[in-house]
Amino acid sequence: MSVRERFRWKDDRLYDGTRLSGYSIVPDEKYPSMWRVRSPDGTLSDMVNRTRAKDAALLMLDRDLRAAE
């Protein structure tokens, strides 16, 4: 099962069923139309548009899951 099939967005947070994945997207403080991915450790990504931020969060989560295997 792919990450895109397994995880779903609810508002700006990424969930595995009812459990939070730890990844979310947040608006940039200076440029509110731009977004950043917040990782489980609290770090923020570079600024991108909202669609790209959601895609990046899924890719980052997929990378983390593969590294844990």
What's the pLDDT tens digit per position in 26-53? 999 999 899 999 999 999 999 999 999 9
Is residue 35 within 8 A of residue 49, CB to CB? The reply is yes
How close are the terminal C-alpha atoms of the chain, in Å?
14
**pLDDT band at residue 1, thresholds of 50, 70 and 90?**
confident
Distance, in Å, from the CA atom of 53 to the CA atom of 38, rounded to the nearest integer, reads 10
Location of structure tokens 């969930």:
15
The pTM (predicted TM-score) of the whole model is: 0.91
CA 8 to chain centre: 10
pLDDT for residue 69: 84
